[in-house]
């Protein structure tokens, strides 16, 4: 370093060459640290990377391949951030806001204007937390939009977290208000201690209260914990979509019993889109079938849900129920041939099944000659 070349002779004469070289190295390292801390990028209008851990890469706009990310690196419109299985990083916005990306995420800066405190960002997959600085003046308040492929969150001064998997979106409110909408739908207000969900671009759910000590509260606390600092292990955080999906299945029963059938179907579809866990998908298909079955005009929709389960190699206990419900549904629709085929299949597959007596009764009824 030029610095060492200038001071090394003077230090060497004063205290000896060995000690002088050590002091020079330490001083040089301090200057490198200060140059990073006071890098011009941090004073520019760009979003920059703060603390970064694990596998984090940047794909600059117009480039073909991503490169390893570095602390202090500027992000401009069109740039993408990728985090691997152990990746974690903080994006620092010039107005003091920050966005934290967790593992297995892909994030894009679509546009950003630091003077107007506006920008559009996209979470293409994964999980993040956005802590947006508030402003004492309405004229200088932030106006940021966080998009996924199927939802939009309009943000001003607030703190919220979100999960995106495929078409499914889950938004947790920590502070302030976020306006959440599907694709060209009305908005729902996400506030502190509430959750709003949507999938496939449809109108989001009504805000759901996060009750203390619930599985939903557990999920929110875990998501906030892994966005405050990178965890030693990502195993538990990786289960967040499954935790929410299982909670949705339980919550759908409350909605269905309250007569809110379309909302029940919606949260169950979120569960299906949120995770590939076969047991959760099986439970969600069964519950959607049960909701559809409450309305005789939607009986065929119920049968499609059971078929979606039966058409997989899954052999869990949910399969037995789906097969029985299919036979019962066809029987109620007076489709004797289809009903008989499914009921007989049930007896072959589950000769000691829990619905055996009912199935035998239905088959005897089908075999009775018409009066």
pLDDT of 242 reads 97
Please give the residue range of the domain that contains residue 364: 277-371
Read off the pLDDT of each residue in 134-143 and give the average, rounded to a whole number.
75
Q: Are residues 81 and 112 in the same domain?
A: yes
pLDDT band for position 140 (cuts 50, 70, 90): confident
pLDDT of 136 reads 63
Q: Are residues 56 and 111 in the same domain?
A: yes
Give a yes or no: residue 109 inside a domain.
yes
Q: Are residues 150 and 215 in the same domain?
A: yes
Read off the pLDDT of each residue in 166-177 and give the average, rounded to a whole number.
97
Judge whether residue 31 has pLDDT over 80.
no
Q: Are residues 84 and 165 in the same domain?
A: yes
pLDDT band for position 370 (cuts 50, 70, 90): low
Q: What is the mean pLDDT of the chain?
A: 90
Read off the pLDDT of each residue in 45-64 and give the average, rounded to a whole number.
96
pLDDT of 137 reads 63
Instruction: For CA atoms 75, 52, 124, 220, give the dihedral sign.
Output: negative
Give a yes or no: residue 145 inside a domain.
yes
Give a yes or no: residue 128 inside a domain.
yes
pLDDT band for position 134 (cuts 50, 70, 90): confident
Q: Are residues 176 and 65 in the same domain?
A: yes
Report the distance separating Cα 304 and Cα 289, nearest Å.
Answer: 8
The enclosing domain of 52 has a CATH number of: 2.60.120.1440
- Which tens digit of pLDDT belongs to each residue from 355-366? 999 999 999 999
Q: Are residues 97 and 57 in the same domain?
A: yes
- Which tens digit of pLDDT belongs to each residue from 291-301? 999 999 999 99
pLDDT of 45 reads 83
Q: Are residues 139 and 9 in the same domain?
A: no
- Which tens digit of pLDDT belongs to each residue from 273-291? 999 999 999 999 999 999 9
pLDDT of 35 reads 38
Judge whether residue 19 has pLDDT over 60.
no
State the pTM of this model. Answer: 0.86
Q: Are residues 16 and 83 in the same domain?
A: no
Q: Are residues 137 and 229 in the same domain?
A: yes
Judge whether residue 15 has pLDDT over 50.
no
Read off the pLDDT of each residue in 344-349 and give the average, rounded to a whole number.
98
Give a yes or no: residue 266 inside a domain.
no
Q: Are residues 309 and 211 in the same domain?
A: no
Percent of the chain with pLDDT over 70: 87
Q: Are residues 210 and 120 in the same domain?
A: yes
When divided into structural domains, the chain yields a total of: 3
pLDDT of 22 reads 46
pLDDT band for position 334 (cuts 50, 70, 90): very high
pLDDT: which is higher, 26 or 115: 115
pLDDT band for position 338 (cuts 50, 70, 90): very high
Judge whether residue 24 has pLDDT over 70.
no
pLDDT band for position 5 (cuts 50, 70, 90): very low
Q: Are residues 206 and 99 in the same domain?
A: yes
Last residue of one domain, picked from the residues 211, 236, 261: 236
């Amino acid at each position: 370093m030029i610095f060492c070349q200038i001071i090394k002779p003077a230090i060497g004469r004063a205290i000896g060459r060995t000690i002088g070289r050590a002091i020079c190295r330490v001083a040089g390292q301090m200057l490198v640290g200060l140059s990073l801390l006071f890098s011009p990028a941090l004073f520019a209008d760009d979003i920059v990377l703060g603390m970064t851990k694990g596998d984090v890469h940047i794909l600059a706009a117009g480039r073909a391949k991503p490169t390893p990310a570095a602390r202090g690196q500027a992000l401009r419109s069109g740039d993408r951030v990728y985090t691997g299985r152990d990746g974690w990083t903080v994006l620092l916005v010039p107005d003091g806001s920050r966005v934290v990306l967790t593992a297995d995420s892909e994030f894009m800066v679509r546009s950003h204007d630091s003077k107007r405190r506006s920008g559009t960002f996209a979470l293409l997959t994964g999980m993040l937390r956005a802590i947006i600085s508030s402003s004492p003046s309405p004229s200088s308040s932030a106006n940021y939009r966080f998009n996924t492929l199927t939802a939009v969150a309009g943000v001003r001064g607030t703190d919220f977290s979100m999960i995106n998997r495929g078409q499914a979106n889950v938004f947790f409110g920590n502070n302030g208000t976020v306006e959440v909408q599907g694709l060209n739908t009305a908005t729902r207000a996400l506030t502190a201690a509430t959750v709003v969900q949507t999938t496939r671009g449809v109108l989001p759910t009504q805000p759901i209260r996060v009750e203390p000590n619930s599985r939903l509260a557990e999920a929110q606390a875990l998501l906030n914990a892994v966005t405050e600092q990178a965890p030693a292990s990502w195993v538990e955080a990786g289960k967040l979509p499954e935790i929410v999906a299982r909670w949705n299945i339980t919550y759908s029963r409350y909605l269905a019993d309250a007569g809110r059938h379309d909302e029940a179907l919606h949260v169950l579809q979120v569960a299906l889109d949120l995770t590939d866990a076969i047991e959760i998908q099986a439970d969600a298909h069964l519950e959607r079938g049960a909701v559809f079955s409450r309305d005789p005009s939607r009986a065929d929709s119920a049968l499609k849900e059971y078929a979606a389960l039966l058409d997989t190699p899954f052999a869990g206990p949910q399969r037995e129920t789906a097969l029985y419900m299919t036979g019962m549904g066809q029987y109620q629709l007076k489709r004797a041939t289809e009903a008989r085929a499914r009921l007989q299949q049930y007896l072959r597959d589950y000769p000691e099944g829990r619905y055996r007596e009912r199935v035998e009764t239905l088959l005897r009824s089908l075999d009775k000659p018409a009066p």
